[in-house]
């Protein structure tokens, strides 16, 4: 398929556009940017030069990819990247910044959906099939897993981790880690139950779901999980808990089991 570029768009030499890429009015694509086949760059959108993105991404008007990190000590000459997978949607006003670390990357996976004015800061990692609702903002070095839903206006402190299949309630402030498979919300934020709908949609049901329910109860009581059947989901949870955490873990709502 041919590449289509609106006459008012500005595409610098040495930008790499795959087959079928379309570039809308007044969009800017800087030299060095790599945009995969079938991607759509909307009106007034900006793709800076240190962006490498895969196929079939949709960038809506006024979204900006690969801008300078919001770090007052950052040297703009630093070589760093924003790397993006395939099939993502970036709605109006979305921003994602490249990394602060030399040769490092801010990373966004595939098939994610980022709503209006959401933001991914420098050195973050976002997994696959994750959704950011309007005005979500994550600070530097945050790690977000796969199949996560972040409700509107959620704000995440730098260096926090959000585990896969978690749901964060809208307007929640996150300043510690969020467990995989859980729902979290409130002020202060607390885990309050399993993400049952998301888990069942992912095919995690029956005995697998019973094991996660038991794990949730044990974690609330600060007891080890070794007594449980080693399902794939439990092993993932145990490995996640064993990984380094710079922020610690949000607690639990005190509800009856």
- Annotated catalytic residue: which of 123, 145, 185, 198? 123
Would you give per-residue pLDDT tens digits along the chain (257 residues)? 899 999 999 999 999 999 999 999 999 999 999 999 999 999 999 999 999 999 999 999 999 999 999 999 999 999 999 999 999 999 999 999 999 999 999 999 999 999 999 999 999 999 999 999 999 999 999 999 999 999 999 999 999 999 999 999 999 999 999 999 999 999 999 999 999 999 999 999 999 999 999 999 999 999 999 999 999 999 999 999 999 999 999 999 975 44
Nearest Cα to Cα of residue 94 among 46, 32, 26, 160? 46
The verdict on whether 177 is a catalytic residue reads no
The verdict on whether 250 is a catalytic residue reads no
Burial 160-171 (b: 16+ CB within 10 A, else e): bbbbbbbbbbbe
The verdict on whether 36 is a catalytic residue reads no
- Annotated catalytic residue: which of 60, 97, 122, 250? 122
Cis before 190 (ω within 30): no
And the tokens for 14? Answer: 């040495």
pTM, whole model, 2 decimals? 0.96
- Annotated catalytic residue: which of 24, 54, 85, 140? 140
Where do we find the tokens 């050195």?
123
124-130 long-range contacts, Cβ below 8 Å, gap at least 24? Answer: 127/164, 128/85
Nearest Cα to Cα of residue 96 among 70, 123, 67? 67
The 3-state secondary structure of 59-78, one letter per residue = ECCCCEEEECCCCCCCCCCC
């Amino acid at each position: 398929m041919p590449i289509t570029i609106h006459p008012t768009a500005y595409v610098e030499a040495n930008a790499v556009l795959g087959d079928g890429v379309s570039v809308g009015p007044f969009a800017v694509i800087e030299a060095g940017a790599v945009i995969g086949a079938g991607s759509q760059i909307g009106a007034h959108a900006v793709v800076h030069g240190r962006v490498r993105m895969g196929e079939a991404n949709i960038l809506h008007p006024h979204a900006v990819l690969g801008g300078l990190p919001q770090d007052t000590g950052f040297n703009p000459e630093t070589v760093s990247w924003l790397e993006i997978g395939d099939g993502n949607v970036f709605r109006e006003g979305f921003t994602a910044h490249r990394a602060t670390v030399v040769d490092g990357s801010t990373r966004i996976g595939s098939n994610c959906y980022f709503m209006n004015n959401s933001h991914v800061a420098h050195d973050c990692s976002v997994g696959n099939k994750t959704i950011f609702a309007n005005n979500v903002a994550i600070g530097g070095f945050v790690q977000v897993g796969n199949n996560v839903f972040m409700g509107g206006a959620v704000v995440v402190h730098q260096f926090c981790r959000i585990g896969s299949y978690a749901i964060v309630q809208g307007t929640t402030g996150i300043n510690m880690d969020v467990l995989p498979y859980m729902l979290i919300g409130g002020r202060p934020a607390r885990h309050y139950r399993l993400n049952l709908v998301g888990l069942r949609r992912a095919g995690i049901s029956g005995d697998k779901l019973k094991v996660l329910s038991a794990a949730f109860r044990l974690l609330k009581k600060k007891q080890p999980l070794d007594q449980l059947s080693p399902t794939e989901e439990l092993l993932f949870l145990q490995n996640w808990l064993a990984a380094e955490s710079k922020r610690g873990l949000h607690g639990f709502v005190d509800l009856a089991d």
